[in-house]
A and B are shown apart, each in its own frame.
Chain A
Amino acid sequence: MSVRSKAHSLGPKPPFWRDRAKRALIFQALLIAAVIAFLLYIIGNTQANLAARGITTGFGFLERTAGFGIGQTLIEYSSQSTYGRTFVVGLLNTLLVSALGIVAATIIGFIVGIARLSPNWLIARLASGYIEIFRNIPLLLQIFFWYFAVLRAMPGPRDSLAFGEVIFLNVRGLFLPEPLFESGFGLIPLAFGIAVVASIALTIWNKRRHEATGKRLPAGWISLALIVGLPLFILVATGVPVTWDVPELRGFNFRGGITIIPEFLALWLALSIYTASFIAEIVRSGIQAISHGQTEAAQALSLPQNLVLRLVVVPQALRVIIPPLTSQYLNLIKNSSLATAIGYPDLVSVFAGTTLNQTGQAIEVIAMTMAVYLTISLLVSMFMNWFNARVALVER
């Protein structure tokens, strides 16, 4: 101790650039100064440029009339609507294709990922062929393929491909029958809701009873029977209060039913197929990450194969799968912005594309678009982190 303090007092005080704390302070002050100087430079230039081009900044343009139509709208929209409304329409279209894409990609991805580990040689090879082909081709190329080479090459409405005379596919899109609900139909969602609540209650009760007494009911099957059976029973009991509006060829196009535009179909197909190939690899590596000893121990306890999977392999594999799965979901949402290349009216296409071109409000429009994607990214990662924390290993 004495030696150290002596050594300290011996030499002169080190110069300030050798002092770690002071150096950190100086360095950070320099960084802040540089960032501020850079921002000031950019803002100054931007103001000069905007003044030279006669563009006024501000979000007033959102109140102005847009004056263009949009091919697919989830809410009321016409060319008389405002740019603000355009923004909402684009956002909803982005969310629609992302949500449906995530569902489809997850289903395909899990099937292919499990097939990749199949003991059947042919199935495993087919699955790895799927993964290697679709993972290594750019998404934009796949979107173009589905849109220009497949859906745009479909026959015209008169020669549509018909599936059972109720579903039609042609160059204008996919035409599906639309259910029209008559009075009394409201009971069916109600029955569905009751069945879902009852199933949840049953599952919780069954779990408690299982832990307390060791006895358990096949709660999964009972829940399934409830959720499917109860609405079906009500449906038949009330005399099927649904009629189908089947699309019909009138003149040059189909009328009635639901129309799914080809842009949506192409984007949705490409996004799902592309992302599924990544999800499949994640699922495979997640399952493979579970050490063989776990499965063998479970089998040694003479658990049947389905319980080995449900109680031992899947819960542990999910922990490995969820973090990379989250980033794939985020990638899918961000990739849905490629819609603009084929004209699907998503946020980037109608807002950062058409609106920007018409108003010239580059800064506001790009900032709003980026803010939307940042918010979505943040929300999805928060949700997935919460879910991850729930399934994460409880360590001491």
Chain B
Amino acid sequence: MTIQYKMIEARPAPSNTVGPVAWLRANLFSGPVNTIFTLLGLYLLYLLLVPTIQWALINADWVGTTRDDCSREGACWVFVSTRFTQFIYGLYPRSQIWRVDVTFAVFVGMIAWLMIPRLPFKRWVALATLVAFPVFAYVMLYGGHFGLPVVQTHRWGGLMLTLVLAVVGMVGALPIGILLALGRRSQMPIVKSFCVVFIEFWRGVPLITVLFMASVMLPLFMPTGVSVDRLIRAFIGITLFQSAYMAEVIRGGLQAIPRGQEEAAAALGMSYWMRMGLIVLPQALKMMIPGIVNTFISLFKDTTLVMIIGLFDLLGIVQAALSDSRWLGFALEGYVFAAFMFWIFCFSMSRYSQYLERKLHTGHKR
């Protein structure tokens, strides 16, 4: 009888429980039903992927400038590449495109600063994004100051207009949403009912009717002779609509803050706006970011609706290009391109919001 004082080296796991074969057996072929499902899934994938890849990549035409360069065996991306500038910038004058690029680069820089956790001065950058950037973007995109020629809004279009609409809707809706959410939680009955009616009204109607209203009723509401730019009308409609959704997100965040926080602040003698601005909102806003990103994604997708009131956002300008008599019959290519652009934006934003949710979810998780 010997006594062993050393740990015995662990033997390798049986070969049928590790490695790719075991993985396949556990995850794909664990039983007859599962095997049938796997085979069905593979067949479905084959049916979907093979024609798609052949159409979009293998048989596709990539280079050229006119319709004659299309062999019509697969997708003809020439349709997209010849109109790429138009799809991105609309009818913005070609010589002025750098202004859009600079604005966009500044915006990306600020958002990146806010998204990277390590960088300092977050509060000031956020404030600049909400206050200084809109002014900067207006001066850059519309012009009329500092020697920049004016570019009328009817020349704006494409992806640029989509982004402008979404960002304006967001920046405009955030303060209104905060006020509405605070009002909905207010003790004052009239303020509270006013906010409830306002929020529920805009949440109860489709965005299309809001845009219709903004485009046909807003001119009636203005003093006689005053006309509002079509883009401004869309801004107003989208901002009002979005602020109601934003208010609900913010209310959700406010409810997550324990009552004791506000009571402690009140015990220190802080006024209502100090309690909200210094204690409750900073804590709540952090929790709301995933919700705010999610409403931004739906707003981003909803901006496509402005084409119904005659603005040419990314989808609108693709749709307009499809009716060009020289390029009839390229609907699929146009839609696939637009869908790809929207998908990239929405998918990356939703991934970011999921990452935030995981990061903020520091408590116990089931």
Contact = CB atoms under 8 A, between A and B. Distances in A.
Given A45-B222, A145-B335, A31 B205 contact: no
B331 A153 contact: yes
Given A126-B44, A139-B301, A120 B37 contact: yes
Contacts of A144: 315, 319, 335
B342 A122 contact: no
Interface string B74-115: 000000000000000000000000000000000000000000
Interface in B1-28: 27-28
A148 B322 contact: yes
Interface in A183-198: none
A50 B209 contact: no
B304 A118 contact: no
B77 to A, nearest CB: 15
A334 interface: yes
A49 B220 contact: yes
Contacts of B262: none
Interface in B207-238: 207-209, 212-213, 216-217, 219-224
B188 A24 contact: yes
Contact of A366 (B212, B308, B350): B212
Contacts of B188: 24, 27-28
B194 A45 contact: no
B319 A363 contact: no
A237 interface: no
A348 B208 contact: yes
Nearest to A126: B41
B191 A27 contact: yes
Interface in B25-43: 27-28, 30, 34, 37-38, 41-42
B208 A366 contact: no
A149 B224 contact: no
B308 A341 contact: yes
Given A119-B34, A356-B216, A28 B190 contact: yes
Contact of B209 (A31, A140, A348): A348
A141 B342 contact: yes
B332 interface: yes
Contacts of B308: 340-341
B201 A49 contact: no
Contacts of A52: 224
Interface stretch (A241-249, A312-320, A368-376): A368-376
B233 to A, nearest CB: 13
A291 interface: yes
Given A45-B224, A122-B41, A149-B335, A370 B343 contact: no
A123 B45 CA distance: 10
Interface residues of B, number: 55
Interface string A370-391: 1001100110000000000000
A30 to B, nearest CB: 10
B209 A369 contact: yes
B46 interface: no
B301 A138 contact: yes
Contacts of A363: 217, 220
Residue among B45, B190, B350 facing the most chain A CB atoms (10 A cut-off): B190
Interface in A122-151: 122-123, 126, 132-133, 135-142, 144-145, 148-149
B27 A145 contact: no
Contact of B208 (A120, A338, A362): A338
A27 B209 CA distance: 33
Nearest to B213: A366
Contacts of B217: 362-363, 366
A143 B15 CA distance: 51
Interface string A39-74: 000100110111010000000000000000000000
B366 interface: yes
Interface string B152-189: 00000000000000000000000000000000000111
Interface in B313-354: 315, 319, 322, 331-332, 335, 338-339, 342-343, 346-347, 350
B201 to A, nearest CB: 7
Given A45-B224, A46-B220, A120-B27, A337 B41 contact: no
A331 to B, nearest CB: 9
Residue among A139, A141, A374 facing the most chain B CB atoms (10 A cut-off): A141
A337 B206 contact: yes
Contact of A141 (B30, B187, B338): B338
A335 interface: yes
Contact of A31 (B37, B41, B191): B191
Interface string A145-186: 100110011000000000000000000000000000000000
A46 B319 CA distance: 35
B305 interface: yes
B363 interface: no
A145 B322 CA distance: 12
Nearest to B303: A138
A24 B220 contact: no
Nearest to B297: A136
A378 B205 CA distance: 11
B124 to A, nearest CB: 32
Contact of A334 (B41, B206, B219, B366): B206
Contacts of A32: 190
Nearest to A50: B220
A374 B221 contact: no
Interface in A352-367: 352, 356, 362-363, 366
Given A52-B224, A374-B204, A122 B190 contact: no
B41 to A, nearest CB: 4
A224 B219 CA distance: 59
Interface of B: 27-28, 30, 34, 37-38, 41-42, 44-45, 187-191, 194, 201, 203-209, 212-213, 216-217, 219-224, 297, 301-302, 304-305, 307-308, 315, 319, 322, 331-332, 335, 338-339, 342-343, 346-347, 350, 366
Given A45-B223, A136-B343, A369-B212, 10 more contacts: A24-B187, A28-B188, A42-B221, A49-B224, A136-B347, A137-B342, A334-B206, A338-B305, A352-B212, A356-B212
21 contacts: A24-B188, A31-B191, A45-B221, A45-B223, A46-B220, A121-B27, A122-B45, A133-B343, A136-B301, A136-B342, A136-B350, A137-B346, A138-B315, A140-B304, A144-B335, A145-B335, A291-B366, A334-B205, A363-B220, A373-B205, A373-B209
Q: Which 10 A-B pairs have the closest CB atoms?
A: A136-B346, A334-B206, A121-B27, A138-B301, A377-B204, A28-B190, A337-B206, A374-B204, A122-B41, A149-B331
Interface of A: 24, 27-28, 31-32, 35, 42, 45-46, 48-50, 52, 118-123, 126, 132-133, 135-142, 144-145, 148-149, 152-153, 289, 291-292, 334-335, 337-338, 340-341, 348, 352, 356, 362-363, 366, 369-370, 373-374, 377-378
